[in-house]
Amino acid sequence: MSTSRIIKDIFSGYGKKELNLISSSIQRTEKRLLEFEAKYHLSTNEFLQKYENDEFEETLELDEWIGESIMLERLRKELEIYKGVDFAD
């Protein structure tokens, strides 16, 4: 087996592990957002709009909701990047 093939296999395996990690992180983050949405009877988008309009008093829990929504956006972008990686022969 050539050195380039070994390196490709190593990086390919790493990429698959990263994809799995990102996917499971997205699932956990989506679950957390659903919990906030159920508690406050608002979608995350509705909440963010109302928060931007100062319709909510700032609390640690609402900061967590905002943080989870930001995290989900970043994870989805990262997932798209990893899905686009192709190791040429």
The pLDDT tens digits of the residues spanning 4-61 come to 555 555 556 667 788 889 999 999 999 999 999 999 999 999 999 999 999 999 999 9
CA 26 centroid distance within chain = 4
Token pair for 51: 């928060």
Residue 60's nearest CA partner among 31, 36, 85 is 36
Q: How many domains does the chain have?
A: 1
Residue range of the domain that includes 31: 3-84
Looking up tokens 């640690």 gives: 60
Query: Is 21 a domain residue?
Result: yes
Token pair for 60: 């640690």
Query: Is 9 a domain residue?
Result: yes
Q: What share of the chain is helix, strand, coil (3-state, %, to 5)?
A: 80, 0, 20
Query: Is 44 a domain residue?
Result: yes
Question: What average pLDDT score do residues 61-70 get?
Answer: 98
Query: Is 89 a domain residue?
Result: no
